[in-house]
């Protein structure tokens, strides 16, 4: 065998063994066999002499054989590595450990593995609702949307009307997550997500008062962790709306760093309702509490201490959650914050040395000190539902409004939506609407089947809210002056005002992107890392060493497979990547996604291995890695949605738009990580492995965006499918219903409009105020009477659509009854007055 052929075979075998993650004895045997063939003349120069290349082969073969012996391997590699890491690895704090243990891992682990199993993606259920859930979505939810007067809520009253409160209480909106056994609706996460999204498409303020009781708060916490007495007493009242809950977590000194709260409780004996009882003296100072000003039940997080060990849990019990009636002595409910001028109730509360019985701890004394775990477990699921649902709905709503307005509004003789300058933001909205809804549906389905996707929930929160921010800005740009002039007919301002709130709450996006998504994902979703950390921190060193050996060997084989696998798939352009059967024209995107996952796994693994705990301070790197992971997940959801929707041909352009742009953004995020990686040799190596042929992905070409936008500029299935599950009015008395009616009429009158435009350009008809240009065209035979009538209707509707509100100056004066203030002392003085 010629030497060149032997070299090719040898390299191929190395790639095969690495990518198949072969065990050490197999490596030793293959290297020994190859060396033997070379030395004996079966391959190579035919001399059979023991030369340099024989030595190069036998040394690693013998080394691998020695390491295949467990005792040798442990003495030479495993034990030194174990003790070194054990001595330098900072101990995971209790709150960090509870956060890590709170969520579950799912498809995110497939992406971290570099070898995603598409069968697992396809096994996630599509959107499925029970008959009861569908009826609720089509009935009470639509009815609620119809009775909402957004201008009245957010401007005239800056308050949620009693009519709305009564409606949501009467129909059980506040108890969607409470089980039927306790008087709630017991809806699935998918149903909750769709209900919230539909309400959000009508009013960000109203969806907030429905969202909060169905997210992280007393209802969910009591349902999952409460005592039977707490469940029996509170849950039916919460479900019926007889109690309005709030949850008090954030304080002046503990915003994003909630675990650093200074709110304190001390276990002691005291008097409650005339009887001596074991309880807690609590002092706290909270702010930004949604529903707080209207709450009748205050959920409270605080750090509990027990200096006399009355609970038997030591002095520092830990973060604890309690439920306190708002009218309890010592509880101070402050007045209202004004977050971005929103109408939903939000404000501070506080208390000093407030004595509560131990039974008010959620879950009773047994759950004292378990508050952080409880919060993280609920947040893992809640973060996956509330804001992604409202954000996805917001993006779809902006798209539906903007395409209708862009088709109705004409400038320079054509609809503005057909101008390339505005086609570009519309294409962004089309992509964001499709992608966000795809990911929302998949994530909600995960939660519905019992998962608590902490990593996916984090990336969904920041990705969907950021995409909503861009969609709202794009919509404002397209509407121009129509969008910035506020009033009863303005359907964009409420979303524009509320975007910063969504960006900030449930973990500000900057924090979620740079500190939570990748940092938590790397530890929990990496196939080996968490097992290694658990092993080295095991108090039983012998047991830890055995567990560490298994995890460490897996990690070595995983890393080697990533190095060679990534290079192989990049030089072959992803041609040999995995794609599921019957992918119906999307196999190429699956293969590129597989290739991208390989590259992500390699880059993530090297980042963790070389930077370790220092990753916490490399937040630009972790932010880019979070972006890369997000693009992988979102594109996976896009491909699944296309299949779940029955692979409509009309949507192929949208899938291509999302795939090309998503892969390009992934590439740039990974390139930014590599270009700024602080270890020089690794930076060079990663460039060679990940981009051996350069950065090959490009954004979607203009023609793809044009094809996608054309789908939504006319009424039809594609437009409805892209904006599904939002409230769509067709009442011309409603500003958004007027849009729909005008769009249909303008499209119907298109041919007549073209005739009129040609006549105007030719000078046959003059279009100025005071002239009946449509009548002139009809009299000249340019238009038929039917066409003239259709054009008059379309023009009248268009005039109403593009009109803006104007006011008497007196109407615009602030009508507040008191000046603002920023201290509890001010509240106390006001109360005394």
CA distance 290 to 299: 11
H helix or E strand, kind and range, residue 392? helix 371-408
Note the helical H segments in 183-303.
189-200, 204-211, 218-225, 228-240
CA distance 433 to 7: 51
Mapped onto helix, strand or coil, the DSSP state of residue 410 is: strand
Other residues' Cβ atoms within 10 Å of the Cβ of residue 122? 14
Active site amino acids: 506
Residue 596, both tokens: 């991208």
Place of tokens 């921190």: 537
CA distance 443 to 441: 6
Strand partners, 410: 415
Catalogue the long-range contacts made by 65-74 (C-beta closer than 8 Å, 24 or more residues apart): 65/25, 65/28, 65/32, 67/24, 67/28, 68/23, 68/24, 68/25, 68/28, 73/24, 73/549, 74/545, 74/549
The DSSP call for residue 405 is H
Residue 375 makes CB contacts below 8 A (sequence gap 6+) with: 216, 249, 258, 301, 319, 321
Mapped onto helix, strand or coil, the DSSP state of residue 356 is: strand
CA 759 to chain centre: 52
To 10 degrees, what angle do helices 371-408 and 189-200 make? 40
Alpha carbon separation from 344 to 161, 176, 215, 294, 614 (Å, rounded): 10, 19, 16, 10, 41
Alpha carbon separation from 386 to 189, 343, 515 (Å, rounded): 10, 18, 21
The answer to whether 466 touches 503, Cβ cutoff 8 Å, is yes
CA distance 793 to 787: 10
The answer to whether 480 touches 804, Cβ cutoff 8 Å, is no
Strand partners, 298: 246, 324
Alpha carbon separation from 37 to 17, 40, 569, 762 (Å, rounded): 18, 5, 29, 87
Q: CA nearest 304: which of 292, 288, 327, 321?
A: 321
Residue 758 makes CB contacts below 8 A (sequence gap 6+) with: none
The answer to whether 447 touches 385, Cβ cutoff 8 Å, is yes
Exposed (0-12), middle (13-18) or buried (19+): which is 97, by Cβ within 10 Å? middle
CA distance 201 to 145: 9
Alpha carbon separation from 525 to 104, 416, 452, 608, 609 (Å, rounded): 9, 46, 13, 12, 15
Place of tokens 């390491």: 67
Show the beta-strand stretches assigned E in 240-325: 245-248, 264-272, 275-290, 297-305, 316-325
Strands 245-248, 332-333: parallel, antiparallel or unpaired by DSSP? Answer: unpaired
The answer to whether 646 touches 574, Cβ cutoff 8 Å, is no
Mapped onto helix, strand or coil, the DSSP state of residue 277 is: strand
Place of tokens 């019990």: 317
DSSP, residue by residue, 622-651: HHHHHHHHHHHHHHHHHHHHHHHTT--GGG
Q: How many Cα atoms sit within 13 Å of 572 on the Cβ side? A: 13
């Amino acid at each position: 065998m010629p030497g060149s052929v032997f070299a090719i075979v040898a390299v191929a075998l190395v790639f095969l063994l690495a990518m198949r993650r072969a065990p050490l004895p197999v490596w030793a045997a293959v290297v020994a066999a190859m060396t033997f063939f070379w030395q004996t003349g079966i391959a190579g120069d035919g001399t059979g002499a023991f030369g340099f290349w024989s030595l190069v082969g036998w040394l690693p073969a013998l080394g691998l054989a020695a390491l295949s012996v467990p005792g040798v391997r442990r003495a030479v590699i495993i034990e030194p590595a174990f003790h070194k890491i054990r001595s330098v690895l900072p101990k995971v704090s209790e709150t960090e450990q509870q956060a890590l243990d709170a969520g579950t891992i799912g498809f995110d682990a497939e992406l971290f593995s570099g070898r995603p199993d598409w069968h697992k993606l396809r096994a996630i259920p599509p959107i499925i609702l029970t008959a009861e859930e569908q009826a609720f979505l089509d009935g009470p939810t639509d009815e609620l949307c119809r009775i909402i007067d957004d201008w009245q809520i957010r401007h005239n009253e800056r308050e949620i009307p009693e009519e709305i409160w009564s409606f949501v209480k009467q129909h059980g909106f506040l108890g969607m997550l409470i089980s039927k056994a306790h008087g709630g609706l017991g809806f699935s996460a998918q149903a909750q997500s769709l209900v919230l999204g539909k309400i959000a498409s009508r009013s960000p303020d109203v969806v907030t008062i429905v969202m909060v009781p169905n997210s992280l708060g007393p209802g969910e916490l009591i349902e999952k962790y409460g005592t039977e007495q707490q469940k029996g007493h509170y849950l039916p009242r919460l479900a019926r709306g007889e109690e309005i809950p709030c949850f008090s977590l954030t304080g002046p000194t503990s915003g994003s760093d909630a675990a650093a709260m200074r709110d304190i409780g001390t276990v002691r004996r005291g008097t409650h309702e005339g009887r001596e009882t074991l309880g807690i003296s609590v002092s706290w100072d909270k702010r930004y509490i949604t529903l707080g000003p209207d709450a009748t039940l205050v959920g409270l997080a605080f750090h509990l201490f027990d200096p006399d060990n009355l609970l038997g849990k030591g002095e520092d019990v830990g973060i604890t959650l309690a439920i306190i009636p708002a009218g309890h002595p010592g509880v101070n409910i402050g007045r209202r914050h004004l977050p971005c001028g929103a109408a939903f109730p939000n404000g501070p509360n506080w208390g000093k040395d407030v004595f509560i019985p131990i039974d008010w701890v959620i879950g009773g004394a047994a759950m004292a000190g378990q508050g952080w775990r409880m919060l993280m477990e609920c947040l893992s699921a809640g973060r996956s539902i509330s804001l992604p649902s409202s954000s996805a709905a917001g993006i779809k709503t902006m798209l539906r409004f903007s395409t209708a307005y862009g088709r109705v509004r004409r400038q320079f003789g054509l609809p503005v939506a057909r101008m390339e300058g505005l086609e570009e933001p519309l294409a962004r909205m089309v992509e964001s609407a499709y992608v966000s809804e795809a990911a929302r549906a998949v994530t909600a389905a995960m939660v519905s089947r019992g998962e608590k996707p902490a990593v996916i929930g984090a990336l969904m929160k920041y990705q969907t809210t950021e995409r909503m921010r861009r969609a709202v800005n794009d919509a404002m740009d397209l509407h121009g002056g129509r969008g910035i002039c506020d009033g009863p007919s303005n359907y964009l301002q409420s979303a524009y005002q509320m975007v910063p709130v969504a960006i900030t709450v449930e973990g500000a996006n900057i924090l979620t992107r740079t500190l939570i998504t990748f940092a938590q994902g790397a530890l929990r979703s990496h196939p080996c890392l968490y097992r290694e950390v658990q092993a080295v921190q095991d108090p039983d060193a012998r047991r830890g060493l055995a567990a560490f050996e298994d995890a460490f060997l897996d990690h070595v084989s995983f890393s080697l497979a990533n190095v060679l696998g990534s290079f192989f798939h990049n030089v072959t352009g992803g041609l040999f990547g995995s794609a599921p059967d019957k992918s119906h024209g999307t196999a190429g995107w699956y293969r590129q996604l597989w290739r991208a996952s390989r590259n992500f796994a390699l880059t993530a693994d090297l980042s963790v291995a070389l930077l370790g705990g220092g990753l916490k301070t490399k937040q630009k790197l972790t932010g880019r890695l979070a972006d890369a992971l997000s693009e992988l997940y979102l594109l996976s959801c896009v491909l699944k949605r296309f299949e779940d929707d029955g692979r409509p041909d009309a949507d192929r352009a949208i899938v291509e738009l999302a795939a090309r742009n998503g892969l390009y953004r992934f590439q740039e995020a990974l390139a930014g990580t590599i270009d700024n990686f602080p270890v020089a040799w690794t930076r060079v190596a990663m460039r060679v492995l990940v981009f051996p042929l350069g950065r090959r992905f490009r954004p979607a070409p203009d023609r793809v965006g044009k094809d996608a936008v054309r789908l939504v500029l006319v009424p039809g299935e594609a437009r409805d499918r892209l904006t599904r599950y939002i409230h769509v009015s067709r009442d011309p008395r409603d500003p958004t219903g007027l849009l729909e009616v005008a769009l249909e009429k303008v499209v119907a009158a298109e041919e007549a409009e073209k005739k009129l435009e040609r006549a105007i350009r030719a000078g046959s008809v003059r279009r100025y105020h005071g002239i009946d240009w449509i009548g002139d065209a009809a009299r000249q035979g340019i238009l038929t009477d039917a066409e003239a009538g259709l054009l008059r209707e379309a023009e009248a509707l268009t005039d109403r659509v593009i009109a803006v509100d104007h006011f008497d100056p007196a109407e615009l004066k602030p009508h507040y009854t008191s000046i603002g203030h920023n201290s509890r002392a001010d509240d106390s003085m006001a109360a005394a007055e």
